[in-house]
Amino acid sequence: MKAQRAVIIALYVVAMFMVSIDGTIVNVLLPTIAVEFGVTPGATNGINIGYLVSIAVALPAAGYLSNRFGVKRMYVLSVSLFTLSSLLCGLAGSLQALILARVLQGLAGGIITTVSMTLLFRTFSPPERQNLSRSLVLPIAFAPAIGPLVGGLFSEYLSWNWVFFINIPFGIIIVLIGLFALTEFEIFKAPFDTKGYMLIALGLPLFMLTLSLIASDGVSITVVFCAIVGVFLLSSFYVHERKIKEPLLDVRLYEQPLFLSSSLVAMCSMGALMGMLYLFPLMYQYEYSASALESSLITFTEALGLMVASKLLPRTSRRFGMLLTVRLGLIGTVMIFCCIAIVGPSANPWLLRGLMFTVGICLGHSVIGSQLSAFHHVAKSQMSKATTLYNMLNRVGAAVGIALVATTLTVSGRYFSEILSYQYALVATVVLLLAGLGCSLLAKEQETILKGEKA
C-alpha cells in the first residue's frame, strides 16, 4: 500500500510538472521560432493561444471522463496523447503544424491537470495532504518559475525542438508505470451533460482568448465581442448547471464557503505569480540589456523559496491555523511586490534574488494552503468535478494576471517613462493579491484545518 502511494505521488508530480512547465518554457523561444519559420514575432502568438484555448476546451470534460471511464484509464490515455503531441511539436516543419500540435498537447494537458489531482486527492485523506505540500508545489508553482530558465538554456546551447522532445522519455516512463503499478478507482456513472459542455466549451475558450488578445493586442472590437459572448455563455452555463440533476460541473460546490474562498484565493495568487513571471524578465532585460538566461536566473530564486515554503507549511499551519497562514502569506507577498516595484530592476541583482526568494516563501504558503483547504470537505464522488472547477479558476487567474500586467504596461507607457510603466504594472499584481486577501475573508477558521491539528 505504501509503495502504491509513493508511485501515485511520483506520477502526479512528473505529469503535472510536464504540463505546467510547457506553459512558460516556450515564451523565451518565440523569437527563435519566428526566425526559423520566417514569420514575424507577433505571428507566433498562436503557439500559446492554441495551447491555452485547447486546455480550456478539455478541462470541463475531464471530471466526467475520469468518473465515467476511470481515473487510471484517463490518466494513461492523456499522458500518452501529451507525449505523442510533444513529439509532433518537436518535429513540426512549419508554424501551422506547430500550432496544431500545441492544440493537441493542450487537450491532453487539460485532462492531465484534473485527473492527476483527482488521483492524488482520492488516495490521501485531508490530514495526510498537509505532508504532501512539497508534491503539490512542485508542479503548480515551481514548474512555471523554472520554465523560462530551462527555455533559456535550450535557446543558448540547443535548439527549440528539445523543449518538446524532453517530454518524450518522461511520458513513456509514466505511461508504463501507470499501466502496471496503478489500480483503478471506483467508477461513478452519470449521463453526459451535452448542453452544459457546449456552453462552457465555447464560453471558456472565448473568455480565455479575450484575455490573451488583451495581453497581446490591447482592447479592440474583436476583444469586446469575444468578451461579451464569452461572459454570456459562461453565465448561461452557471444557470443551467444549477438546474439539472446531473451537472457536468457541480457549481453548487461554490456554495461551500471554504471551497469558494480557497478557489478564489488560489486564482488571485496564481494570477499575481504569473503576472510577475511574465513582467519581470521583460523589465530586467530592458534595464540591463540582459539575455533571457540572465533574467531567468533572477526569477529562479522564487522557485527555491516555494520549495522552502512547502517544507515550512505543515508547521506554520499547525501553529497559526491554515486560514491565518494563507492570509499572512498574501500580506507578506504584497509587501515584497511593493519593494520590488520601488527599487526597480536597477537594484543589485543579489537583492532582487533575495526579494524573489522571499516572494516564493510567502506566496508558497498562500498557493499550497489554499489548495489544501479547498478540498478539505469534498467527498470522493465529487472530487473529479471539484478539481476541475479549481483548475479552471487557476487557468483563468493566470490569464487574468498576464492580461492585467500587459494592459497596465501598454496604458501607462503612453504617459510615463518605460521604466515607470514597468513599475506600475508590478503594482497591478498587488491588486490581485489584495483581491485574494479579501476572498480569504469568506471562509472561517473552523471550516478548515484547525490550529494545532496534527497531520
pLDDT in tens, 20-67: 777 667 766 766 777 778 776 556 666 776 777 788 788 778 777 877
Q: Can you read off the three cell numbers belonging to residue 335?
A: 509587501
Residue 237: left (phi > 0), alpha (psi -120 to 50), or beta? Answer: alpha
Low-confidence ranges of the chain (pLDDT < 50): 446-447, 449-455
Question: Domain residues of the chain, as ranges?
Answer: 1-192, 193-247, 249-455
What are the residues whose beta carbons fall under 8 Å from the beta carbon of 378, sequence distance 6 or more?
A: 121, 253, 259, 386
- Cell 460546490: give the residue: 253
- Number of C-beta neighbours around residue 55 at 10 A: 28
- Percent helix, strand and coil across the chain, each to the nearest 5: 85, 0, 15
What are the residues whose beta carbons fall under 8 Å from the beta carbon of 363, sequence distance 6 or more?
A: 141, 269, 272, 273, 302, 305, 306, 309, 329, 330, 333
CB 273 within 8 A of CB 370: no
**pLDDT, position 450:** 40
The residue ranges of DSSP E strands in 99-158, in sequence order, are none
**pLDDT, position 115:** 83
**pLDDT, position 455:** 37
1-192 carries CATH number 3.40.50.300: no
Look up the CATH number of domain 249-455: 1.20.1250.20
Q: How far apart are CA 38 and CA 23, in angstroms?
A: 23
CB 133 within 8 A of CB 9: no
Is-same-fold flag (1-192; 249-455)? yes
Q: How far is CA 422 from CA 60, 349, 429, in A?
A: 35, 17, 11
**pLDDT, position 334:** 92
What are the residues whose beta carbons fall under 8 Å from the beta carbon of 84, sequence distance 6 or more?
A: 104
Q: How far apart are CA 439 and CA 81, in angstroms?
A: 37
Q: How far apart are CA 266 and CA 439, in angstroms?
A: 10
Q: How far is CA 397 from CA 169, 263, 327, in A?
A: 31, 10, 18
- Number of C-beta neighbours around residue 81 at 10 A: 19
Q: How far apart are CA 365 and CA 326, in angstroms?
A: 6
Cβ-based burial of 261 (10 A; exposed 0-12, middle 13-18, buried ≥19): buried
Short-list 105, 119, 125, CA closest to 20:
105
**pLDDT, position 224:** 86
Q: Can you read off the three cell numbers belonging to residue 205?
A: 475558450
